Amino acid sequence: MEVKTSLLDNMIGVGDMVLLEPLSEDSFLENLKKRFDHNEIYTYIGSVVISMNPYRSLPIFTPEKVEEYRNRNFYELSPHIYALADEAYRSLRDQDKDQCILITGESGAGKTEASKLVMSYVAAVCGKGQEVNKVKEQLLQSNPVLEAFGNAKTVRNDNSSRFGKYMDIEFDFKGDPLGGVISNYLLEKSRVVKQPRGERNFHVFYQLLSGASDDTLKKLKLHRDFSKYNYLSLDSAIVNGLDDAANFRTVRNAMQIVGFMEDEVQSVLELVAAVLKLGNIEFKPESRCNGTDESRIKDKNEMCELLGIEQSVLERAFSYRTVEAKMEKVSTTLNVAQAYYARDALAKNLYSRLFSWLVTRINESIKVSDAQAKTRHKVMGVLDIYGFEIFEDNSFEQFIINYCNEKLQQIFIELTLHEEQEEYIREGIEWTNIDMNLHLLSNNQNGILAMLDEECLRPGTVTDETFLDKLNTICAEHQHFESRLSKNSKFLNDHSLPHNCFRIQHYAGKVLYRVEGFVDKNNDLLYRDLSQAMYKANHSLIKQLFPEGNPSKVNLKRPPTAGFQFKASVGTLMKNLQTKNPNYIRCIKPNDKKASHIFTESLVRHQVRYLGLMENVRVRRAGYAFRQAYEPCLERYKMLCKRTWPHWRGPERYWLEERRRQCLHDLASLIQKIYRGWKCRSHFLLLKKSQIVVAAWYRRYAQQKKYQRIKSATTVVQSYTRGWQARKLLRELKYQKRCEEAVTTIAAYWHGTQVRREYRKFFRANAGKKIYDFTIQRIMQKYFLGLKSNMPSMSPIDKNWPARPYLFLEGVHTELRRIFHLWRCKKYRSRFTEERKAVYEEKLEASEIFKDKKALYPSSVSQPFKGDYLEISKNPKYQKLSSAMDEKVLLADVVNKINRANGKGTARLFLLTKKSVVLADQKTGQVKASVPLPDLTSVSVSTQSDGFFALKLKEVRETWLV
C-alpha cells in the first residue's frame, strides 16, 4: 500500500506561514532562513508560493518530481512551485476557469526561471501526441529566442529580463495545448547604445560573436573581438556561468523548432550585425557622416552592404533633417551631436522593431489554427515581467518598470486584500485601509506620466529641467513625492537629493530618479529622413520594420510617446489579468552577491515588507482564505449527497474536494461506459450497413467477372472449333490438289514411256552418251584454247588469271592456276646465278628478322647487301688494318660508338668476321677492341628509324651502343 507524505511529515520549519506560531516579522524571517539553509526554497502563504532564489542548481526539478506532484492536493506534499502549477492546470482543465500565474519580485529574484518551471510542468502533465508535442515544443523553445534578444546581464542578475513578457497558452476541452500568444512590453532599447558600468548589452550580440561559425561571421562581415564594437561594453563581456557559444547554438536550434526559415534567420543575424556596425560610425565637423579613419569607413560600407542601402542615402540621412508642415518642407543641417543622436536613435529603433518582429513571427508559429480559433478555449496566462529596480542612477526605464510593478501590486491587493477589506467593513471588523500610490504616477491629469506627455507635446523649448519644474509645481503637495524644491523635502541642503532629481515613495521603498533623459526617451523620436532611408533598403526585412518610411504613406501626425504606449499596454494587461483566476509566486532574492548559501536578513526583510507578505498571512489566518459564495458552494457539492454542509472551513474543503473528485471520476466512468456503448453500437450499425453495401457491390462484381470468364471461355472454344474445321477442310483441299497433280505427272510419264517404247527402234542405244561426251570434250577444248590466248605474263608477282567460263570447271581452274604459278616461278629461278641466289637468300633471312619489326626495314629492301662497304682490301688508307685481319671481312662500315659516360658519339670502323667483332679508329685504322663471337651474348636493334644497335658482351658485362 502506497504511503502518502503529508505537509507536516519531516517538515523543516513551517511550510505554510499561515500555521506559523507566534506570527511576527522576526519569526517569519527566521522560518524563511531555516528552510533556505536546508535547501527548502519554497514556502506557502495559503495558496501563494514564496520562492527564494538559491543561485545554484537543486535536484528538485526532475521528471520524478513532476510525476510526484501530478494530480495531488495542494497541501498534500511539501511546498513546491509544481504544486501551484498543478493546481492552476487542474482548475483550468476540470473547473473550466481561466488562470493566470503572476510572478513578481525584484530583479534577480528568479522570476524568469520560475516562469520556465511553470511552463515545463504544464507541458509535462498535459496530453501527448504528435501535434500536441509539436505545440508544446514550440511554446517552450520560444523562451531561448526571446531571452537571447531581450535579456541582458545587469549588476543584480546575469540573465535579467529587459522586457516584459506575458504568454497566454490556450487549451482545448481535454486540457491539451493548442497554441499561444506572446505580448511584450517596453524593451529597454537604450541598452543597445549604452550600458551602465558592470552590465553588458543584450545576450545575442555576444552569442553571435562567440558561437557563430567563421563562415557565418565572414558573411556578416564581423570579427570575434568584442573590443572592435563601440556598442559592446568590455568590463563585463565575459560572464561566469554563461556559455555564449553554446547558447547561440541553442538559439539557432530553437528558432528552427519554432518555425523560422533559414533565410529569415539569416536576415535577423544581418540586422544584428548592422546594429554593431552602426555603433562604429563616427562623425566630425568637416564631413558630418564620414568616418574618422579607414576602419570606420569600412564599417559603414559593410553596414550598407548588409542592409542593401546606398551609402549616399545613409550619409544624407545622417547629415540633414527634413521637417514637413502642411505643404512646406524645411531641411536643416545636423551638427556632430545631432548626428550621433540620430545614429543611436536608429540603432535603438532598428533593434526594438526587430525584437517586436520576432515576437510577431513567433506568434504566427504558435498561434491557434484558424479552424480551432472559432471555438472558445481555456486560457492560462504566465506573466514574466521586469522586477522592481532601485539603482544608483535611475532613469526613465526604471521609472516605467517600477510603475508596472506598482500596477501588479495593485492587482494583488485588489484581488486579495481589498476583497477582505470590503468583507471586514460589511461585518464590522476593524481594519487598517491600504493606500494606493498609483494616483501620483498614472493620473490622467496630474500624474507624472501625463505631465511628461504634456511637456513633450507642448510647443516651445522643452528640456528635462522644465519637466522637473512642472513636477515641483504640481506634485509638491503629494506625500509620496520629494524634490529639492518641494515642501516634503525636510532639508534643502540634503546632498542625497540633487537638484536634477526627484524621489518617489513606491510600495517597495523610496527611489531617486535622475530627470536627465526623461523627455528624449519619452519622445523616442526617429527622424523621418532615417525612416525613409531605411525603407529604400533592399533588405527583405527592413521595409517591414519601417513602414512609415514609405513616401506614398507619409503621416505628419506626431507618433505617440513611449510612456503613453506603455501605459496603454499595461492597462490592457491589467484588464486581461482581472478576467482570470490569479495564482501568485512571490520571488525573493536572499542576497545581492548572487551567491548561494548567503541569507542577508535586512535585504529579505525589505522585500517581505514591500511585497506585503505579513498582511497576506494575517488575511489568511483570519479564515477567509477559501471563501466561496454560499449558493455556488452548494451547487458545487450537490452531487455528493442530499445534504451538504453550509458551514465549513479549510480542512473540510479538501475533504469535500476529494469527495467531489471521486464523484466526478465515477460520473466520468459512467459517461464513458454509456458513450462507449453508444459509440460501439453506432460503429456496429455503420459496419453492418457498409457490409451490406460492400457485399452487394462485391456480388455484382463477382457475377460480372464470372460472366466475363464464361464469355471468354466460350469464345476460346468456338475459335478452336472453327480453326479445327478450317484446317480439316484445308487438308482435304490440299489432298485433292495433290491427287490431281499426281494423276497429271503419272499420265505424263506414262505417255512418255509409251512414246519411247514406240520410237526406240529408230535410235541407237548409246547416242545420248556420245552426245554428252562430245559436248564435254568440245567445252574443254574451247576452255584450254581460251587459256592459251589469254595467258598471263611470266612475272611471279603477276596475279592476273582468266575467269572460269563454267561453274563445273571450278576445281580444274584453281589447280591449273596453281600449277602455272609454280612453273613460272621455277622458270624465273632457273635464270639466277649463284651470286644472285646468295643475295636473295640474305634478303629472305633479313625479311624474317626485320619485317614488321623495324620502321627502317621497308626502305632497305631495294638496297643490295655489299658487306664490305669500305672496300678495305682496295683502299690504301686501310691497308695496315687489312693486313692485320687474318680472316675475311664479312661486314665493314663506319659507325658512331656512344660513350656511356657523357652520351657523346665517337666515329669507329665496325668490322665483322666469322670469328670476331672488331672496332677500329676511323683515321688511323688502329684496332680499339676485338671481341670473339662466342663472347657476344646478344644483338639488340631499336624498332625506330634511328639506325641504333647494341652489342651485349658476356664476360665484361658491358654493352656497346653504336
Residues 534, 445: Cα–Cα separation, whole Å? 37
486 in catalytic set: no
3 state SS for 868-881: ECCCCCCCHHHHHH
Sign (positive or negative) of CA dihedral 74, 80, 85, 86: negative
User: Has 302 been labeled as part of a binding site?
Assistant: no
SS (H, E, C) 618-682: HHHHHHHCCCCCHHHHHHHHCCCCCCCCCCCCHHHHHHHHHHHHHHHHHHHHHHHHHHHHHHHHH
User: Is the alpha carbon torsion for 176, 94, 98, 83 positive or negative?
Assistant: negative
Length of the chain: 962
Residue type, 231: Y
Q: Is 904 assigned a ligand-binding role in the annotation?
A: no
Those residues whose C-beta lies under 8 Å from the C-beta of residue 530, and which sit 6 or more positions away, are 317, 318, 342, 345, 346
Of 161, 267, 349, 394, the active-site residue reads 161
Q: What is the DSSP string of 190-210?
A: GGGT---TT--SBHHHHHHHH
- Sign of the four-CA dihedral 662, 665, 669, 675: positive
Tell me, yes or no, if 107 is annotated catalytic: yes
Cis peptide before 796 (omega within 30 of 0): no
Helix (H, G, I), strand (E, B) or coil at 382: strand
Q: Which long-range contacts (CB under 8 A, 24 or more apart) does 942-945 make?
A: 942/854, 943/853, 943/854, 943/855, 944/854, 944/855, 944/856, 945/855, 945/856
Q: Flag whether 110 is marked binding.
A: yes
Quote the DSSP letter at residue 414: I
How far apart (Å, rounded) are the C-alpha atoms in residues 502 and 481?
Answer: 7
> Is 109 annotated as belonging to a binding site?
yes
| Residue in 31, 53, 157, 280 annotated catalytic | 157
Q: Which residues of 825-859 are buried (b: 16+ CB within 10 A; e: fewer)?
A: eeeeeeeeeeeeeeeeeebeeeeeebeeebeebee
Q: Which of 101, 585, 102 is nearest to 380 (CA)?
A: 101
Cα 456–386–406 angle (5° rounding)? 65
Residue 227 marked as a ligand binder:
no
Asked if 46 and 620 touch (Cβ cutoff 8 Å), the reply is: yes
Where do we find the cell 526571446?
Answer: 146
List 107, 143, 483, 522, catalytic entry: 107
User: Burial level of 384, CB count in 10 A (0-12/13-18/19+)?
Assistant: buried
* Catalytic residue flag (residue 157): yes
Catalytic residue among 150, 211, 387, 612: 387
Is 111 within any annotated ligand binding site? Answer: yes
Q: Is 789 annotated as a binding residue?
A: no
Query: 96: helix, coil or strand?
Result: coil
Kindly calculate the radius of gyration of the chain based on its CA atoms and give it in whole angstroms. 57
Q: Which residues pair with 165 in a beta bridge?
A: 184, 384
For residue 99, the tally of other CB atoms under 10 A from its CB is 25
356 classed as catalytic: no
User: Of 104, 160, 210, 405, which residue is the catalytic one?
Assistant: 160
Answer yes or no: 623 catalytic.
no
CA angle 946/951/957 to nearest 5° reads 135
Phi first, then psi: give them for residue 960, nearest 5 degrees. Answer: -95, 130
Compute the distance between CA of residue 382 and CA of residue 414 in angstroms, rounded to an integer: 19
Cα–Cα distance measured from residue 179 to residue 170, given in angstroms and rounded to the nearest whole number: 6
Number of helical H runs and strand E runs in the chain: 31, 21
Catalytic residue check, 924: no
Which residue is catalytic, options 78, 112, 250, 616? 112
Please choose, from the candidates 589, 601, 606, the residue with its C-alpha nearest in 3D space to the C-alpha of residue 55: 589
Residue identified by cell 482564505 is 625
Q: Which helix (H) or strand (E) holds 105?
A: strand 99-105
Residues 6+ apart with CB under 8 A from 427: none
Q: According to the annotation, is 105 in a ligand binding site?
A: yes
Active-site residue among 15, 108, 549, 563? 108
**Contacts of 408 by beta carbon, 8 Å cutoff, 6+ apart:** 102, 104, 383, 385
Torsion, Cα 827 833 839 845, to 10 degrees, reads 50
Which residues are part of the catalytic machinery? 107-108, 112, 157, 160-161, 387, 389
Q: Where is the binding site for ATP, in residues?
A: 105-112
Q: Where is the binding site, in residues?
A: 105-112
